[in-house]
Chains A and B, each alone.
Chain A
Amino acid sequence: MLKIKNIHAGVENKSILNGINLEVKPGEVHAIMGPNGSGKSTLASVLAGREDFEVTEGSVEFLGKDLLAMKPEDRAREGIFLAFQYPIEIPGVSTVNFMKTALNKIREYRGQDALDAVSFLTLMKEKIKLVEIDQSLLSRSLNEDFSGGEKKRNEIFQMAMLEPKLAILDETDSGLDIDALRIVANGVNKLRTKDNATIVVTHYQRLLDYIVPDYVHVLYQGKIVKSGTKELAMELEEKGYDWIKSEMEVA
């Protein structure tokens, strides 16, 4: 589904990603861990098409297409969803309105008719249940005065609405209380099918108890320096990143 080959990316004179290779197949869950500033969010942004980052080398294939050649909105329409580490406020625009606009733009791209009000509401009700989000939140201004946890939950609601093929969750677990973490993780699990895939960026092994990953990768200084299964996450939890860093230095 997703083939990242030797991606180098950065801003102006600073390189942030230094040759990333990653392959994600349908139905898989990949966890990406790594110390602060290692380039996790940058990788997510590059995949989503943020123009601030210049890709200097490498290629990304998504469902057989050249992802890097696509405009960001088309990447979303092709099925890439990014749950933002820091969701953005849009005053005066409700989540409902935002989702209606997004969904219909995506449908238009796929040659489908716009959803009528009733079908949209039915879909929304269904997804509200799935991610157990407070409905009143959805008619408020998007992310404005939302608590940290509410913002994250809202991201997952949006993901449920748009049913992406590849979801990238950038630290969706930070800021969530224990119950919310379980609920959000359950939501993500319920949305899993054999055809879609998920990349979860996280600092905590705890999330991976709920969303069980097929692979865990460690990103350090813009490179994937170690890959393994969920046991790797537990090892990291126990030992921290120092052993990886020292391993790196030895090598």
Chain B
Amino acid sequence: MSKDNQVLEEFSSKEYEHGWSIDLESDSAPKGLSEEIVRFISLKKNEPEWLLEWRLKAFRHWLTMKEPKWPNVKYPPIDYQDIIYYSAPKQKVQPKNLSEVDPELIETFKKLGISLTEQKRLTGVAVDAVIDSISVATTFKEKLGELGIIFCSFSEAVREHPDLVKKYLGTVVPSNDNYYAALNSAVFSDGSFCYIPKGVRCPMELSTYFRINAANTGQFERTLIIAEEGSYVSYLEGCTAPMRDENQLHAAVVELYAMKSAEIKYSTVQNWYPGDKDGKGGIYNFVTKRGICAGDYSKISWTQVETGAAITWKYPSCILKGDYSNGEFYSVAVTNNYQQADTGTKMIHIGKHTRSRIVSKGISIGKSQNSYRGQVHILKRAENARNFSQCDSLLMGDQCGAHTFPYIDVENKSAHVEHEATTSKIGEDQIFYCLQRGIDEEAAIALIVNGYAKEVLKQLPMEFAVEAQKLLALTLEGSVG
């Protein structure tokens, strides 16, 4: 009997005493959430005992928690017992060529300027050997390996680097942090793990694109990035291609850990299915993202372009613990039709001379609701802390809403906190000026909106920025009355 099977045996017999009733041979768990299910997931993933315990603790805590009601979003109650929490990564039926793929999707790809090869990769069409993404990924991985950089799936990290995972998991976002983080901690499926050793500057943008087994990480994704002293990494999450998923609820957790003088730049383009024009369907994206600037002179920078999801609940935050550490948050959030977004950031200043900068650009179209929620907290020992916040809202049409909820909490008198907020509309004059130069209304709006969001877009890595611009234009399509 192989070692794995032995473990499995042990577990299953043990579980039997507790009334284990799930078919372990099954590829997926039955609907619903219970301790049994948590054990089942951990078992299926061959996890060590400590991780199972960690999950169980999170689960038990989750049971005592209530779904947050404070976000400015509305949705029917979620039945957590009606969700399947584990199903083994399935080999989907691969389409043989692009003609077998949803033509609407292909049309969107074309508008985004996504290459044919990339279109095939995204839709799961088999690609030929030369440009096979796996071979690209392999060369890529070797190169990173030489520098001592670890970049792999979360499951692989649990197997190959358990000490690192054990040391840092849950240190930035504790498993009892909030309702969705607790849920994620109990049932997370997979995700990414990234470790940059001391003094290493990661020579390329790390993106899940290059990670083998990146597909099917499921609805409860978990990411952990650790940057050792003096290291640097830029990480890209998501892609501009539309992401469809039959799972309605997504609750991811991302933890960033920056040591002394380390810098982590985390960029996201979120384009989950937003639902149709009447507000039917669409993903609920309830994410907890947080980074800690643990060492002096460290820096964490979040950049996000959010165009998708029916509901977004997301506050990438920075805990500025090290002296002279620096946190940044740059966000563009677009909502159209019936989309709702409640997003922003928290900057917690603990160390002396800590700085933070918040630039949030909301764009509301149609009947959508777009809220910025931000907290700046300057603790007592944070001498000479500085914060600058800029929250702008752009409204298109008169049926949408933009809301700003800034919370500022200053416990040290030496702090300098600046908050600016504006609300604007695209002027008729601006449109006419564009029209007079031969630019049609749709292109004019895209141009003006991209200009409005420029301060954020320019934070993105070059290639990503170009795609994000196209994505914004695409999201605005049809918004012209």
**Contact pick for B437, options A52, A91, A92, A102, CB 8 Å:** A102
Indicate if B440 sits at the interface (CB-CB under 8 A): yes
Q: Is the CB of B447 within 8 A of A101?
A: yes
> Once the chains are docked, how many angstroms separate the CA of A101 from the CA of B455?
20
- A residues 124-147 near B (Cβ < 8 Å) are 141
Indicate if A176 sits at the interface (CB-CB under 8 A): no
CB-CB < 8 A to A106: which residues of B? 438
Interface residue stretch chosen among A3-11, A82-90, A112-120, A204-212? A82-90
Interface residue stretch chosen among B202-210, B408-416, B428-436? B428-436
Can you name 27 A-B residue pairings with CB atoms under 8 Å? A49-B435, A71-B440, A72-B435, A73-B438, A73-B440, A73-B441, A76-B435, A76-B437, A77-B438, A84-B433, A87-B433, A88-B427, A88-B429, A88-B433, A89-B430, A90-B430, A90-B433, A91-B451, A92-B454, A92-B455, A98-B437, A98-B447, A102-B439, A103-B438, A106-B438, A109-B438, A162-B437
Closest residue of A by beta carbon distance from B432:
A50
**In the complex, number of A-B residue pairs with CB atoms less than 8 Å apart:** 77
CB distance from A80 to the nearest CB of B (A): 8
CB distance from A153 to the nearest CB of B (A): 16
> Once the chains are docked, how many angstroms separate the CA of A73 from the CA of B447?
15
- Cβ proximity bits A44-71 to B, threshold 8 Å, 1 near / 0 not: 0000111010000000000000000001
Given A72-B432, A88-B429, A101-B443: A141 touches B451 (CB 8 Å cut-off): yes
Q: How many residues of B contact A (CB 8 A)?
A: 23
Indicate if A158 sits at the interface (CB-CB under 8 A): yes
Indicate if A225 sits at the interface (CB-CB under 8 A): no
- B residues 428-480 near A (Cβ < 8 Å) are 428-430, 432-441, 443, 447-448, 450-455
Q: How large is the interface on A (under 10, 10 to 19, 20 to 34, 35 or more residues)?
A: 20 to 34
CB-CB < 8 A to B435: which residues of A? 49, 71-73, 76
**Contact pick for B436, options A52, A82, A89, CB 8 Å:** A82
CB distance from A201 to the nearest CB of B (A): 15
Q: Is the CB of A91 within 8 A of B440?
A: no
CB-CB < 8 A to B439: which residues of A? 73, 101-102, 105
Given A90-B430, A90-B447, A101-B443: A76 touches B455 (CB 8 Å cut-off): no
Indicate if A1 sits at the interface (CB-CB under 8 A): no
Given A101-B447, A109-B438: A91 touches B433 (CB 8 Å cut-off): no
Indicate if A20 sits at the interface (CB-CB under 8 A): no
CB-CB < 8 A to B429: which residues of A? 88
Given A90-B430, A101-B447: A76 touches B436 (CB 8 Å cut-off): yes
CB-CB < 8 A to B441: which residues of A? 73
CB distance from B261 to the nearest CB of A (A): 33
Closest residue of B by beta carbon distance from A48:
B436
- What 3 A-B pairs come out closest when comparing CB atoms? A92-B451, A93-B451, A92-B454
> Once the chains are docked, how many angstroms separate the CA of A75 from the CA of B438?
8
CB-CB < 8 A to A84: which residues of B? 433, 436
A48-B436, A71-B440, A90-B451 known; 5 other A-B pairs, CB under 8 Å?
Answer: A50-B432, A88-B430, A92-B451, A105-B440, A141-B451
